[in-house]
Structure 1
């Protein structure tokens, strides 16, 4: 019952994307008598949506490339070293992570406007990297804490620096954590809407999440096109989740069970 409740809306969106326009608004709703691909043709060949998908992919991938290395370095420092103010720093990171995105939009917009970054991908990459850094940091801390510190000591005795120990010993062992954290970060960036709506102004930099919301018709809302675009955006994430679900589950429950 719970599974049907969860997948029911998406299943209906999939059916709507294959309906002809005459059946989409029919009341009561019915299953389509004929399945057509007109909505997918409109989205993929008669709109700017493919550019939005490309922009979403590049921004999400760039965010992963920025946030994950920074989170790995910070997590190693927090896990392996004691320094003054560590608890206060972690507390502030948690506080910033709990702030709603709407609280940050005005300040970020003013900052990016001053820098001339509005309508440029760099504004979204910076905003997403900062917003997803706390989650990536704490996931990586949990993974690194599970690795015995004796491995670091052995590497240092062999002549490695702390950075070399992280690069050649700790990072390969924590690879499942890196993969799960990177996938979760990618998904959060792919689905984000508020920053993407605020910092992009035209088709050249618009993301897919905003593109779906801005589908417009002259006299009616193109529900079929919106449903098709929603399916196209969701399918890559489903493929990622199915392919890497083991790593994602490990990233979520890491540290939850005492070993």
Structure 2
């Protein structure tokens, strides 16, 4: 078996997506849940993220190859002293052979010197064990999904929410630093390209932003829980009536998000863990799968 860096190429991006798809499908079969569809938009977004990280973090993106086929992938990033694991997956047929351990070791080595680390792992028990063994504290996650009852959403209280664009980068990075101790930096460029819209609040009492794509709340951060709730309310109110809303990762600290989502008719369930090292769970925050 050999490990090699992920290249910024369409072929490597497709391979990473295929491995992720196979690992995800196996996990969903075990849990009895229907697999999430790989729509054209999801495929394009996934491959755009892989190529973005291959450019920005070549030292953190690795593929495992065995007998001429690619069997595993790990994508890690570093942003201002924060290490994050964007993706970690191994083909089901290749699991149990030490491939996952080697991939994770290489991804972790890329974060040498970073004081803080995080990963939003799947519900895979094996992945959770590896993170715990690497010194991460595991925080149970909730997801909230369903059709939005717009009439039942909380009153935002008159706080204005605006559409954002690339000109808001300084505000976005400032909020990131306040909430999680590090800016997303270049990740915002890819988020702007691969999501439907960016919502922004900027008031005398604080600021915040939220990326929405269809029914998904992709990433949300704010300097207060009140503004985070205003942004989430605005995002859910803009979900198309034909789509189901999805808030994929909320910790117990995100009580403001649970309040808004349950009021809007979404259903709560537990799934997976947030893995953190050297930091507490950010509070006015809903992480992105890819960029944390």
TM-score, shorter chain, exceeding 0.5: no
**What TM bracket, shorter-length normalisation?**
under 0.3
- TM-score, with normalisation over the residues of structure 2? 0.25
Greater relative contact order (Cα < 8 A, sep 6+): 1
Larger radius of gyration: 1
- TM-score, with normalisation over the residues of structure 1? 0.27
Q: Which structure carries more strand by proportion?
A: 2
